[in-house]
Structure 1
Amino acid sequence: MNVDKAQKRIEKRVKRGFHGYPMISIRYFGPTAELATKVEVAFIEQEAAEPMVENFSSTGDIRKDETVQTTIIKIIDRVDAKTVTLDEKITLQLK
């Protein structure tokens, strides 16, 4: 799956809003507000449950990494997430 198609599928799920659990939360991190080099994908099975977190990192912009974006889609599909949230801002990582 190409990057654009994967991003569109993620965006479509995000736009649906809250539909209950299980839920996937996606947050990007990077050294600047324009460059994301890490993504955190959190899976929350039910309300008040401890999230299970998976991190991926890249030397370039991870939002343009086809493998990572396709993997996020596969995680969403595998857990049958009813809700997907995406933090649009890149959280700055201080070294």
Structure 2
Amino acid sequence: MMKIGWRPQKWLEKKSKSGFRGYPVGTVAFYGPDNERASKVAVAVITVPDTPPFALRRWFIESGDIRNDSAIMEQVATFLRTEEVRSLVVTPDLLGCPHEEGIDYPDGEVCPHCPYWANRKRPVPWER
């Protein structure tokens, strides 16, 4: 049940700053054509350590930054609340190109749509 005046962005920030509170764990990762604009968010729910995600959803936008799209961020927060996540990890940086190798372009090649990420080491948030 959503509270009156519920602010999804604030909920996401607060939940991610709370630290590890147990499983299920939600993850929120942003991707974009360069390191400035996020055009994709991938959200996963992990219920047991060292297992693939139980649930995975992705959202995309054509223009603007998805992190500033209140409707999509509300959908992200609602999805995570519905899955009753106890812990939340949100990547601070964009993790790379929003296109998927082997799906949007051939395995082993660079994305033809995102030259910024070609031959560039992508951030690994857990190695900070």
TM-score when normalising by structure 2 = 0.67
Gaps of 5+ in 2: 1-6, 98-110, 114-128
Give CA-to-partner distance per residue, 1:28-66, whole Å, 9 cap, x none.
000111100000001111212211321110012111112
1:71 to 53, 70, 75: 75
Do residues 41 (structure 1) and 63 (structure 2) align?
A: no
Instruction: Give the counterpart letter for 1:32 in structure 2.
Output: D
C-alpha distance in structure 1 between counterparts of 2:35 and 2:48, whole Å:
31
Larger strand proportion of the pair: 1
- Write out the 4+ residue segments of structure 1 that deviate beyond 3 Å after TM superposition: none
Partner residue, 2:32: 30
SS at 1:67 equivalent:
helix
Partner residue, 1:21: 23
Partner residue, 1:56: 59
Provide the alpha-carbon RMSD of the alignment.
1.2
Do residues 87 (structure 1) and 54 (structure 2) align?
A: no
Per-residue deviation, 1:73: 1.0
Instruction: Give the counterpart letter for 2:18 in structure 1.
Output: R
Which protein has the larger Cα radius of gyration, Structure 1 or Structure 2? 2
Larger helix proportion of the pair: 1
Per-residue deviation, 1:6: 2.1
TM-score when normalising by structure 1 = 0.88
Instruction: Give the counterpart letter for 1:62 in structure 2.
Output: I
